[in-house]
C-alpha cells in the first residue's frame, strides 16, 4: 500500500502524520522514529565498484557476502557497524540510514549515500 500524501504533497501515515516539526518525521510509509539502528554498509571509494556491488545485490546475493567481497570498511563483519544512535554517524549517511525499513541480509532493503568516505550501500537490521 502506497503512503498517503498530505495537503503539502508530503508522504505520511494519513491525516495526523506528525506535523509537529521534524522531530516526529518517520521516514518512508509509517516507520516510527528510532533513536538507534542496527546498521550494515558496503563502502566503496570508486563509483564503479559500488555499481558492481549493487548488481550482485540485485541478482540476489546476500548483503553480508557482498560486503565481505566489496566493502573497504568492516569487511570481515559483513559490513556490520552494530547499533548506532542518532548523531553518531556522518550526517549524509545517517539521514538515509534512519529512513530505511529493517530487513535481513538474505533479503535486504538498501539505499545509497555519498559521503566524504566514498559511496555507501546501507541496510538496517533493527530499529529501536
State pTM to two decimals.
0.75
Instruction: Kindly report the CATH number that applies to the domain delimited by 38-127.
Output: 3.10.50.40
Query: Which grid cell is 96?
Result: 538515509
Over residues 11-53, the pLDDT tens digits come to 443 433 333 333 333 444 568 889 999 999 999 999 999 999 9
State the Rg of the chain over Cα. Answer: 15
Extents of the domains making up the chain: 38-127
How much is the pLDDT for 75? 66
Q: Residue 40: name the closest of 2, 118, 117, 93 by CA.
A: 93
Side-chain-side CA neighbours of 42 within 13 Å: the count stands at 28
The per-residue pLDDT for 52 is 98
Say if CB 78 and CB 68 are below 8 A apart. yes
pLDDT digits (tens, 9 = 90+) for 47-76: 999 999 999 999 999 999 999 999 998 667
Amino acid at each position: 500500500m502506497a503512503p498517503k500524501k498530505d495537503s503539502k504533497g508530503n508522504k505520511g501515515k494519513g491525516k495526523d502524520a506528525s506535523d509537529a516539526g521534524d522531530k516526529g518525521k518517520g521516514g518512508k510509509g509509517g516507520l516510527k522514529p528510532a533513536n538507534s539502528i542496527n546498521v550494515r554498509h558496503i563502502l566503496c571509494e570508486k563509483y564503479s565498484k559500488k555499481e558492481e556491488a549493487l548488481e550482485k545485490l540485485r541478482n540476489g546475493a546476500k548483503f553480508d557476502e557482498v560486503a565481505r567481497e566489496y566493502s573497504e570498511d568492516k569487511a570481515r563483519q559483513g559490513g556490520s557497524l552494530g547499533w548506532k544512535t542518532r548523531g553518531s554517524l556522518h550526517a549524509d549517511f545517517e539521514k538515509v540510514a534512519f529512513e530505511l525499513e529493517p530487513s535481513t541480509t538474505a533479503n535486504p532493503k538498501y539505499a545509497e549515500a555519498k559521503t566524504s568516505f566514498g559511496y555507501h550501500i546501507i541496510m538496517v537490521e533493527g530499529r529501536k
